[in-house]
Structure 1
């Protein structure tokens, strides 16, 4: 019956297949575009039209593409195709970022011991691996149907590209923007290198929060008295060099029922500290300005043979803590500046891997070779035994991490190269004012980030990258 009626139907005839079979046809289309140079012909056709430039922020040449790469490139491809179809000369020049830690890590995972071979041989392995990854990703982008010519791509490891970076570096140096100095910067023990602000992410961590009493000495007015400091980094206490007070803060001398010592802290924080420590029946004996504390001597919280002093600190507030700040000049930017103002050299006895090194051996040989975070328990235990630990709690807070390894970083004083952004910041922000972004909030965020940026750390303690070209006079180093 069905065959009788089939002949009576007027059904259109077509050469199109009933199924798309794109997995078979797409490679043929792509090969047709390549063989006939469709992209280059379109560029030739549009070469005298208004130019539209898309700057392709490059993917990193390490491993296969993922869905993020596909989304990024297809969105750009939509824009480029549209612009070329609506009266613009819109080339799509793709690029690859081929330097840095991920490639070093990939080579190391292959069983290569970076420290057991010379730097040239290791760099050659990185170079070869990076080019292999570029070709692999280019083949995968081609399967996505990118409207581009892969022969015009830019790759950051090429001689011309590296020379362009060094010429820009020279310009910055000639303008007095580049300098070398030892100061605290973000340091990643997991990557064994310095990091810039842009390479930092924040994750919540749980840290020990401790109130510590430091014994005042050589002062009759404050006999049997402790200065209260608060920190979430007990590991930094071996490097304590000063205690800072705030110039405009009022301080109180207090006594606590059933305790034989008196204590000094910011008046505004008296109730908060008492509650956190668990003190009851606290009596304020007297109140005074910060200047009364400046120059006061105290015993180091861990090492009785070290006597340090109290100084003014521009960063000290009475919003949290105790109003007296533990200063370790090698482990914080504000601490470093206070040390500099008081002619104290930074002390940061932690090596590239985040372990205490021989610089602490005379003071505390037990800590040598220990990872800095692993010393928190030892240090808090010692403070408890010496009756200087007033309270130990645990606090969940946001803490900086290495964006690649997702491991914690620390501020650590090391010798690095920097770019001074202050002389050019106004010009940078004026340029930001001239751009449009979609969505609008992205522009405000970009402006804020750039406005808050301090000096830019540009050096890295890695082998696979563009070397900083610097020559030294042997007579003065």
Structure 2
């Protein structure tokens, strides 16, 4: 009859539950942090330390958080927490972009729903509604960020709409005004007729659009090549409405141009037999097909395209009152390609970026053709009042009217339609137009801004490195920066323009008065104050026009370094790190660089880190229409924020990240392995105290190997933090817990922990190492699993050392724990162990044995280095068998082997003896100890000492 020895075994004991229950537990931990004033304690604790400043790129205050927000803020939090635990002062100030069209658009939507006319609402009242809208969403987002475990200065965030912020934005813009980097110009900018404003590149997205296509004759008026007499240059365009603004035609200097004479037409062709067409040879055949021309003859290759003058295609149009009766030049341009079209490009400087630049180089007129609503001005011949796009973003009548006029003037060679990628507003989703408007620009050449910005890029660390090349190319080829918007919810441009000269007033005293007023009242002061308040007694207000445009929001966010980093003594300038999605190479990274390079001669950051975008589990962009959106709030409610945080670092965030239920379930499984490791450590430390602690020099080799592994992990953790590579850090920690601890060290030492006497050297050594492991792992994992490590720390009851795990620093791992020779020895031992455990698993799968303790493997080894590594180690304990036999010989043919482990074979027999009722080992001496019936000698000794 067996004896129940259950109560004599030292099983793990802890209040740390196996089931995490994170959705319920995490809010309790958030409350604990609030109760102890964690953020304030961190600030007090780190006062005087080296500062680490990660400057927060401002999210937009207009909706609930999405997974992109979660990825971004969690990654920032992991970095800040790890830098704090490295012994720095990582004071994190979150911030928000508050101005701009998205908020203005939302407030206007409310007006439209109520049937109100926005233009009848006083500007200051409208701005007040925009401010209230932004504040509402900021407060909502703060709570949502807190729920993700983000530790930040939530009581004092920065907002671009704060009065102090608006004053300093104006001050920064004033610097460009004073150094003459800011100027007014007429340029073609991407314009939304729906939103009635110019858009920055970052506000533009591309969608498919069906457009009319036309092939248009430009009759040659004069040239140096007789071959061109009586011929027409042919252009192709998808924007017929821009033809009235034509001021030139472009060609490519390296292309071969040929004159073709039409000899035969196909059905429904509107070409003319006998006419001569000039085309790029490589594109001519496709034009022939599109124009339904059956046959033509090649007249000859054009030898000279210089000094060619061409008639406008609407020349002689009846009803146009001679408005198009002029000639335009043929110009070489490097943007002309032979990918599609005719080899010639119609140039409308009012309606294209390349067109505008070419026109500027050659002094072409930039006519003002369409107004802010996308309607031709009254002065436009023949087309006055025609509409390009309606206020609903639909195609107007302009394309149709122009095509009809081209037919009437005999200039249309062919027409068709095509679907192509076209710029749209990311808000209204309506198509955009290039439109020449008076705008305010910061010159890339004045004050050498481009050169300063490019040097600043060279001086900045980019993670990944390819970000440097990407940003460099953008800055190298970018046009002047358009910084004006024709809206009201934003920081007003601080400009008075002299009516007589058209020049902006550059007077520092005037600027200072504007800044002072904004500090007291914000940008509203610009709209509700008489100009004399700013102009003072030196200037007559009647002589000046007060500009009513606002500053584009990218200048707002690009200036944050001035009113956050420089204005707050707890931070520093430049920032150690800017971190955002890879789209911010053309957004925040870009505009911050230009603003700072233009005012301070360098970037406002030392390093830039970019992460990818969040996609669904199939790699698709998330959208309501696809029904594939995963929201942070849903993950928090179902799994807990620590699972979301784990997903961030377990993914390669330098690439696009996928998320979905299956992926989150996988992360939840990884989390359980980590949690179970912490739980086992906690349970094994029940009752542990300093009196039990054993010096390292007295520890067995296995414990010394674990300490050596900690030195390796410490190096990985610190290097990963320096590289901001938390993916590598997590993988190392996860593999250590899963492979080195759970599947090896702790698996081996369970018998020692459960069954050895409390004062044995092996058990004391093991518990000492486990205490060290717990301290190290909870610190290293704290930046990632901020809630779980806090729960474990509180369960350990070491609050006399620190009220929170986050008030700790990473442990100092003694350098003398590192032992590469010992590590090599254990690598060899583990090779042998893998073969043994593999052989036992085969028998277990065949149901020939149950527990590995029922096995007695004979291990055949013919490699001296393996036998030397084993030495005096107890391989039965290491392989978790009751008995083991080591044989220095070649293994018999029937032995179990592993292909990747040479020289080791295993034959498994059943262990001899009886099963110990206490430790379950099968040993010959079981039953021979009358004072402890049914036990082995080890267990009998433990029981006798306990009694």
- Tell me whether the two structures share a fold, i.e. TM-score over 0.5: yes
Q: Which has the higher contact order (CA 8 A, sep 6+)?
A: 1
Q: 1:28 to 1:295 in 2, by over 3 A?
A: same
Matched, 1:157 2:169: no
8 Å contact 1:207–1:232 — kept in the other structure? yes
Aligned twin of 1:313: 331
Aligned twin of 1:239: 245
Structure with bigger helix share is 2
From 447, 450, 469, give the equivalent of 1:425. Answer: 450
From 276, 291, 296, give the equivalent of 1:263. Answer: 276
From 361, 383, 386, give the equivalent of 1:364. Answer: 383
8 Å contact 2:193–2:389 — kept in the other structure? no
Q: 1:312 to 1:358 in 2, by over 3 A?
A: same
Structure 2: distance between partners of 1:370 and 1:296: 30
Aligned twin of 1:188: 192
From 385, 399, 411, give the equivalent of 2:434. Answer: 411
Q: How does 1:218-233 map to 2 (within 5 A)?
A: 225-233=231-239
What SS is found at the alignment partner of 1:207?
strand
Q: 1:334 to 1:83 in 2, by over 3 A?
A: closer
Matched, 1:438 2:456: no
Aligned twin of 1:123: 127
Question: What are the ranges of 5 or more consecutive residues in structure 1 without an aligned counterpart?
Answer: none
Structure 2: distance between partners of 1:282 and 1:382: 27
Question: What are the ranges of 5 or more consecutive residues in structure 2 without an aligned counterpart?
Answer: 265-271, 503-947
What SS is found at the alignment partner of 1:191?
coil
Q: 1:15 to 1:292 in 2, by over 3 A?
A: closer
Structure 1: distance between partners of 2:89 and 2:119: 49
Per-residue Cα deviation, 1:13-64 (whole angstroms, up to 9, x for no partner): 6545565443333223212212321122112212222222111111111121
Q: CA deviation at 1:122?
A: 0.5
Q: How does 1:44-443 map to 2 (within 5 A)?
A: 44-111=44-111, 113-215=117-219, 225-245=231-251, 251-258=257-264, 259-266=272-279, 268-269=281-282, 270-291=284-305, 294-300=308-314, 303-304=317-318, 305=322, 306-315=324-333, 317=336, 319=338, 320-337=340-357, 339=359, 345-360=365-380, 362-365=381-384, 367=386, 371=390, 373-374=395-396, 375-384=398-407, 387-422=410-445, 423-443=448-468
8 Å contact 2:279–2:344 — kept in the other structure? yes
8 Å contact 1:196–1:456 — kept in the other structure? no
Per-residue Cα deviation, 1:444-472 (whole angstroms, up to 9, x for no partner): 21221122211011101111111110113
8 Å contact 2:374–2:387 — kept in the other structure? no
Structure 2: distance between partners of 1:475 and 1:240: 31
8 Å contact 1:182–1:414 — kept in the other structure? yes
Q: 1:382 to 1:261 in 2, by over 3 A?
A: farther
Q: CA deviation at 1:243?
A: 3.7
- Greater mean alpha carbon deviation, residues 317-326 or residues 204-213: 317-326
| Greater Rg over alpha carbons, structure | 2
Structure 2: distance between partners of 1:215 and 1:95: 59
Structure with bigger strand share is 1
Structure 2: distance between partners of 1:130 and 1:370: 30
Structure 2: distance between partners of 1:318 and 1:77: 48
Structure 2: distance between partners of 1:431 and 1:245: 37
Structure 2: distance between partners of 1:341 and 1:61: 41
8 Å contact 1:98–1:130 — kept in the other structure? yes
8 Å contact 1:251–1:264 — kept in the other structure? no
- Greater mean alpha carbon deviation, residues 371-380 or residues 177-186: 371-380
8 Å contact 1:193–1:460 — kept in the other structure? yes
RMSD: 3.2
**Paired positions, count:** 473
- Greater mean alpha carbon deviation, residues 130-139 or residues 212-221: 212-221
8 Å contact 2:58–2:96 — kept in the other structure? yes
Q: 1:156 to 1:302 in 2, by over 3 A?
A: farther
8 Å contact 1:245–1:290 — kept in the other structure? no
- Greater mean alpha carbon deviation, residues 225-234 or residues 411-420: 225-234
